[in-house]
Amino acid sequence: MARLPIIVAPDPRLKKASAPVEAVDDEICALLDDMLETMYDANGVGLAAPQVGVLKRVVVIDVARADETSTPMELVNPEVVWVSDDIVVKEEGCLSLPEYYAEVERPETIRVTYLDRVNKKQELEADEMLATCIQHEIDHLDGVLFVDHVSSLKRNMILRKLNKAKRQGSITVA
């Protein structure tokens, strides 16, 4: 396994749509392993392949708290097939927007289909933090960041500050 460099916004690679995976093979399994290692190392709860420069529809998630047993999830070609009418507002952060947080509105409960690491189609229903996290990661696969859900004023402020931090070298650029 290897730790991969995480791309920090603003970056054109984070704005692109990722391609579906044709089949989950050894290469995709290796990517899943590397992404999980990268996510845990960065203390994140989710990571999408475009954040490490791979434009494929691959996501890893673990929403277990520090005092809980880890629950790694690997979702290939995740697709939301149902959402609840109930909306929740939760504070979101992102490894590609380090140290910035904002409240985002999303459906409270969702159902998702995906391929697992043996290329088998699975379906799961999620709510609470897991539902928010899955929707946030699927957004990445469509070139959408959580700041795209907030006001342009707030978005531009965050992106401007990140850009400045990158130029000054206080953020390592992948």
Which residue, 24 or 50, has its beta carbon nearer to Ni ion? 50
H or E stretch at 77: strand 73-83
Which residue, 94 or 138, has its beta carbon nearer to Ni ion? 94
Name the nearest CA neighbour of 78 among 1, 27, 138: 138
Is the alpha carbon torsion for 24, 27, 29, 34 positive or negative?
negative
Active site residue 91: no
**x/- letters, 79..118, toward Ni ion (CB under 5 A):** ---------------x------------------------
The footprint of Ni ion on residues 15-74 (CB under 5 A) is none
Which residue, 119 or 159, has its beta carbon nearer to Ni ion? 159
Minimum distance from residue 96 beta carbon to Ni ion (Å): 6
The token pair at 126 is 């999620």
According to DSSP, the β-strands at 121-126 and 102-107 are: unpaired
What's the rounded Cα separation, in Å, for the pair 58 and 32?
A: 8
Total chain residues near Ni ion (CB under 5 A): 1
Residues that bind Ni ion (CB under 5 A): 94
Please list the active-site residues: 137
